[in-house]
Structure 1
Amino acid sequence: MIGAADIREWRGHAVVDEADHRIGTLESVYVETASDQAFFATVTVGLPTRHRLVFVPLDDAVVGPGYVRVAFPKALVKQAPSIGTDDVLPAEDEPAVFAHYSLEYTPGAGGERRLARR
């Protein structure tokens, strides 16, 4: 797993899928609140006048010179739940992000949110 500190250095670099198709630009990293490990990245996608941020898991992500390669196809990532470029993921929307990638969602023991933006 890529550490949160490491991946933050790649903000602004290209995000590509496993076939090297460009998805967008790395905007930020969301970490698991329990472990502070990088878990999702937000990627800027869309037209220049209508940008949005989509979520993509960082499991099996590979960092290369000027890019981050994720283990999910471009089409799936572009259909992921999104937020505005100045927004933060609301806690009630977290389960939908996990469900989109068929990942199990379990809130913290006290009901706290699972993801935090870094």
Structure 2
Amino acid sequence: MYVDTTTDRPAMATVGCGLPTRYRLLFVPVADAVVGPGYVKVPCPKSLVREAPSVGTDDVLPAGQEPEIFRYCGLVYQPGMSGERQVARR
């Protein structure tokens, strides 16, 4: 889960995708998501999720990739006044 650093509210989540040898984490926005026991459903078409920017399972979102992910998800990217990151991993 990634939260907005200004509000500490959930902004994005990562979902696992791929084969065991090429497994990766894809970013999806969590606005209007439905949360249940053991699952989170996001209102995005599967095709949009499959083409989303990704990171490896042991990687962290690079700061330089944040604007691209926000653009892809249709969100406005607004770093902090001093260039702080907009999202943080929780």
Which residue pairs with 1:66 in the alignment? 38
Which residue pairs with 1:92 in the alignment? 64
The TM-score normalised by the length of structure 2 is 0.95
Which residue pairs with 1:83 in the alignment? 55
State the identity as a percent. Answer: 61
Which residue pairs with 1:102 in the alignment? 74
Q: Matched residues in 1 for 2:5 and 2:63: separation?
A: 12
1:44 match: secondary structure = strand
Q: How does 1:28-39 map to 2 (within 5 A)?
A: 29-39=1-11
Shift of residue 106, structure 1, vs aligned partner: 1.1
Shift of residue 90, structure 1, vs aligned partner: 0.6
CA RMSD of aligned residues (A): 0.9
- Kindly report structure 1 stretches of 4+ aligned residues shifted beyond 6 Å: none
Give CA deviations for 1:12-45 in whole Å, capped at 9, x if unaligned: xxxxxxxxxxxxxxxxx00011111111001110
Q: Return the structure number with greater relative CO, CA threshold 8 A, min gap 6.
A: 2
Q: Matched residues in 2 for 1:40 and 1:62: separation?
A: 13
Q: Matched residues in 2 for 1:46 and 1:85: separation?
A: 11
1:75 match: secondary structure = helix
Shift of residue 100, structure 1, vs aligned partner: 0.6
2:49 match: secondary structure = helix
Q: How does 1:11-26 map to 2 (within 5 A)?
A: none
